[in-house]
Structure 1
Amino acid sequence: MSNLVLDPDVFDAASVAADTRMVNDAVVKALRKVPDLWNTPLPQMRRERLENKGLFPLPPENPKALTDTIPGPRGPVPVRIILPEGAPRGVYLHLHGGGWTLGSARENENLTSRIAANCGLAVVSVDYALAPEDPYPAGPDDCEAAALWLVKEGAARFGTTRFAIGGESGGATLAVTTLLRLRDRYGLTPFAAVNLTSGCYDLRMTPSVRNWGELPLVLNTFDIERFINYYLHKGGAPDHPDVSPLMGRLYDMPKALFTVGSLDPLLDDTLFMANAWLAAGNTTELGVYPGGCHVFISFPCQIADQALKRIDAFLRDF
């Protein structure tokens, strides 16, 4: 089933719920208190986030989460594994967001724990290499390695070959890149579903990114430019499909659920990619949520609950 029919009201300011407005106002207020967030060295920023000293709270740690490593092209790649109660119905390969520069599996434990519990899936979240210390293609290489490891070891490790993949923001970008690499480099299409939230699929920057401006609603135009520059500072052309998967040939892709808020600078990326996915002959679902900021599913509001329930249903049914 493909469902890309949108109610125009999702883009109407009058459709934005009061609690969504409150979340957005709080995010902007918090970020405006830090006039130049980029003055903080990235290693310090990453450390503070893991110490729960960042701008947004660190989610509770899942006491059952397992830390492991898998073989990667430059050495071991850390992964964080969360198992459901009982035998896994499948495995979800999760790629976290953070502009290919920040973020970690641990920081997404609220989302990955939910998927394990609600969908009966083992979740393998990958701590891929981050820019600018390890710029493109290091991150995609690690994600490719993780996917190949799952294809090889998944049945023995988890008792299933039913696989899904997904991520948020830059992790959604890497999820699509990984699917394209597996198909084109190895002739593999092992994933039956892909869950993509607030992805950046065109690093040339879509109109919604270019026209967003300075408003710090999680991200603004300058932040996205900075992330792209860090990611590609040692090579990688923004118009190459391995960098901007919207430029890729999207045939033989798994069924996809695209999720985005109407107040996300990366709105166009999702709208363009979802339509390209459908046009390439793939089963496609799209959810656009009124007033949702970038990766709004991480914030407490009704539209986050709605989107997460839809993601749960998608990952239960693939």
Structure 2
Amino acid sequence: MTGMAEWWDVGAQKVREARARGEGAFPPAAKSDRARWVEIDGPAGKLKLRTLAPAQSRGVYLHMHGGGHVLGAADQQDRLLERVADTTGLTAVSVEYRLAPENPYPAGPDDCEAAALWVSDHLSDFGGAKLAIGGESAGAHLAAMTMLRLRDKHGRMPFHAANLVFGVFDLGMTPSARNFGDERLILRTIDILKFGDAFLPGVSREERRSPELSPLYADLCGLCPALFTIGTRDALLDDSLFMHARWAAAGNRSELDIYPGACHGFIAFPTPQTFASLERQMTFLNEALR
């Protein structure tokens, strides 16, 4: 169910270009004529943000796309972000962060941190004071890292809600990730290993469990309400189970939405579980932003 050559064999850029053409397991990414690009000053030059606004904006949904820190792009989930904007009244802002292996850690997290600081400082430009954050897969990891960086480095916690969808929170690999094996349900154990090696070259599996790299091991006190979404046939199942438990144990509001039989990336496909999950995500955001 992966549908194309391995990126580590043919090169990440070749697979990125193929995915942009709609090749592989995921459906073609339809572009919205409502989307606009904004450029801000980033850690390594100009940083692009893709924005999708509702008819009347009350704030921002800061989004980080998935792709294992290697694949994906900010313009490959316009339909999802249209739904967020129209259902929540938030302007969706997706970060075009730098990708590994060309730009390993800390490039991507640095870009997301810079985007979050800029959005936090310019919320009034988006029509309100509400700020949520979210992402899928590696994007959920980057969203969690961004919250922790803003709290620990800048003394800020501007977010009212975190929407974390089938995220990876332990880069040293949880039991479900280690034991998943080779079944081709989008994400396999070898994929997780290869993505980790690209993002953190030369860093051992144990060293990847540093709180600065793996949010599961961080101090999670003082964070905003979060929704964790996961399928039971996802190699990252334990990441969401464990992170939900630690988020709640730290005194934060935490919700867990589990989909029996759903694989990694399931919300990309038009199934009843997808529609149920998206409705739950939108409900969570609206309730948290009241």
Question: Normalised by the shorter chain, which TM-score bucket?
Answer: over 0.9
Q: Which sections of structure 1, spanning at least 5 residues, go unmatched?
A: 1-27
Q: Match of 1:303, as an amino acid?
A: Q
Map 1:186-201; keep pairs closer than 5 Å: 186-201=154-169
Shift of residue 60, structure 1, vs aligned partner: 1.5
Aligned to 1:138: 107
Q: Is the 8 A contact 1:60 1:110 kept in 2?
A: yes
Q: Deviation at 1:110?
A: 2.1
* Residue 150 (structure 1) aligns with: 119
Deviations 1:197-231 (A, max 9, x none): 00000011000011100001000000000000000
Distance in 1 (CA, whole Å) between partners of 2:186 and 2:270 is 15
Identify the structure with bigger relative contact order (alpha carbons < 8 Å, sequence gap 6+).
Answer: 1
224, 227, 233: which is aligned to 2:201? 233
Change (3 A) 1:74 1:36: closer
Identical aligned residues as a percent: 47
Cα separation, 1, equivalents of 2:161 and 2:25: 33
Residue 150 of structure 1 deviates from its aligned partner by 0.7
Deviations 1:16-61 (A, max 9, x none): xxxxxxxxxxxx3xx3x64645422211111122233344222211
Is 1:163 the counterpart of 2:137 in the alignment? Answer: no
CA distance in 2, matches of 1:34, 1:213: 18
Number of residues of Structure 1 aligned to a counterpart in Structure 2: 286
**C-alpha RMSD of matched pairs (Å):** 1.4
1:50 aligns with 2:16: no
Question: For 1:36 and 1:154, how far apart are their aligned partners in 2?
Answer: 40
TM-superposed deviation, 1:71: 1.2
2:57 to 88, 99, 102: 88
- Give TM-score scaled by structure 1 length: 0.87
**Residue aligning to 2:97:** 128
Q: Deviating runs (4+, > 3 A) in structure 1?
A: 33-38, 234-237
TM-score with structure 2 setting the length: 0.95
Q: Supply the distance in 1 between the matched residues of 2:4 and 2:35 (Cα, whole angstroms).
A: 33
- Distance (whole Å) between structure 1 residues aligned to residue 129 and residue 93 of structure 2: 14
2:255 to 285, 290, 293: 285
**Which of 302, 309, 313 is matched with 2:279 structurally?**
309
- Is residue 183 from structure 1 mapped to residue 151 from structure 2 by the alignment? yes
CA contact (8 A) 1:135 1:234 kept: no
Matched-pair contact (CA < 8 Å) for 1:198–1:266: yes
* Cα distance per residue 1:55-96 (max 9 Å; x no partner): 4222211101001111111111111000001x2122100000
1:265 aligns with one of 232, 235, 257: 235
Q: Please list, as runs of the form range in 1=range in 2, the aligned pairs for 1:6-45 lying within 5 A after superposition.
A: 28=1, 31=2, 34=4, 36=6, 38-45=8-15
C-alpha contact (below 8 Å) 2:26/2:268 kept by paired residues: no
1:213 aligns with 2:181: yes
Matched, 1:245 2:215: yes
Residue 66 of structure 2 aligns with which residue?
Answer: 97
- Higher Rg: 1
- Return the alpha-carbon distance in structure 2 between the equivalents of residues 296 and 34 of structure 1: 18
1:234 Cα deviation from its structure 2 partner = 5.7
Q: Tell me if the contact between 2:175 and 2:238 (Cα under 8 Å) persists in the aligned partners.
A: yes
CA separation in 2, counterparts of 1:40 and 1:107? 21
**SS at 1:92 equivalent:** strand
* Alpha-carbon separation, structure 1, partners of 2:177 and 2:78: 28
* Whole-angstrom CA distance in 2 between matches of 1:285 and 1:164: 15
